[in-house]
Structure 1
């Protein structure tokens, strides 16, 4: 187990470099979870959506194209610069803020209809930090609002391999991932209505993930 360096700071530097050197690294087409979330928002007549870990904005831009009031945060300023450039070019309005999910969210209580996070909660976050982030998400969601998040899980091919950092966090190629067990998903849903845990695959490995949908009572 590695303790000789500051993993969160190292990951911040890594993601900033990755986005700076690989513009639009995930393409501009929305992810499958974002398409699902957009349909959920349409069904529930949502207006305000917060995306955590928005990156260069492929999903935030899709939400904006759907007519939603979009707030997007990411730890990388370079990523958000790309997002803002694409939004300007498309005539879309997306509110952006550099933010580390370990810190309190810069949004008011009950101000969001939906919070969306594609692979943000399975970054190099401790279990305690993930629980705190989930509490913050509950704070900014209105009653009856939805959280849709995706995480790589313990059935993924990379789980248990690479550089271990404890707490089910393993690092491959500079990317540290916290792999979720089903028990972890259920624990995070305590106090929520857990609506669905949907397994899916993404990428060339492929990465194995869950798309989790839960509602604030």
Structure 2
């Protein structure tokens, strides 16, 4: 299977659409650790507006909005974004949180150098080929203003669930390897990031931060990365 094919992208979009429809709080309501860190980094840089990619049902978008940021949340699931819009109205945050349907395999809508910060939690480790990841990161760099920040968090290759870390018996039971570093579990396709990929995607950026940490009830080993577009 060639992971960049439209068929894989469409299947994953349908899988996530179903998951968000069936589980209105799929990832809970508490903000991610990455969003909490990003709020401090963005605030320290004097940034007040954020483009969030792969926002899902909005737990991080709402957290950032409560911290005073204006957030433009995007996702490729209309079901998730409908929930974001409804919750924004309920919480009186619709002046700070906007939501738009967008697949990041397509060029980002903003014009060149018009965005101050981009945030993405658990997006880059989804079903993208390495070429698609490089294209996405290049698009993010294009839309960022000089000095703008890009903060993302992904599963680490050191995570116990990573195919490279699991025993062969567990791997055979839970993961189907698809090639190009992608694996499938329970219908979801993902990638675990190692140092080489983080370094590859940081080419042309100033790498300000890369930190490992654990998160979740059955903790995943995560990597948080902060990149700056140099002036």
Q: Deviations over 1:110-161 (max 9, x none)?
A: 1211100001000000000000000010011110011100111211222223
Match of 2:112 in 1: 109
8 Å Cα contact 1:142-1:216 kept in structure 2:
yes
The aligned residue for residue 60 of structure 1 is: 61
TM-score (norm 1): 0.95
Partner SS state of residue 6, structure 1: helix
Q: Indicate the SS of the match to 2:103.
A: coil
Structure-2 separation of matches of 1:205 and 1:5? 32
Q: Deviations over 1:46-75 (max 9, x none)?
A: 022000000000100111112212111001
Aligned length: 217
Gaps of 5+ in 2: 164-170
> 1:205 deviation in Å?
3.6
- How far 1:192 sits from its partner (Å)? 0.5
Classify 1:195/1:78 alpha carbon distance in 2 versus 1 (closer, same or farther; 3 Å): same
Distance 2:162 2:36 in 1: 27
| TM-superposition CA deviations, 1:3-50 (whole Å, max 9, x none) | 899221111100000000000211222111101111111111102200
TM-score, structure 2 as length reference: 0.90
SS of structure 2 residue aligned to 1:59: helix
Aligned equivalents of 2:208, 2:192: Cα separation in 1? 21
1:146, 1:214 within 8 Å by CA — same for their partners in 2?
yes
In the alignment, is residue 207 of structure 1 matched against residue 225 of structure 2?
A: no
- Counterpart position of 1:129: 132
Q: Which runs of 5+ in 1 are unaligned?
A: none
Match for 1:98 among 76, 101, 105? 101
**In 2, Cα distance between equivalents of 1:190 and 1:137:** 13
Secondary structure in 2 matching 1:156: coil
Q: Counterpart of 2:16?
A: 15
Residue 203 of structure 1: how far off its partner (Å): 2.1
Helix, strand or coil for the counterpart of 2:124?
coil
Q: Greater shift after overlay, 121-130 or 196-205?
A: 196-205
SS at 1:115 equivalent: strand
In 2, Cα distance between equivalents of 1:177 and 1:144: 30
Q: Secondary structure at the match of 1:104?
A: coil
Question: Structure 1 segments of 4 or more deviating over 4 A?
Answer: 1-5
Alignment of 1:1-217 (within 5 A): 6-92=7-93, 93=95, 94-160=97-163, 161=171, 162-217=175-230
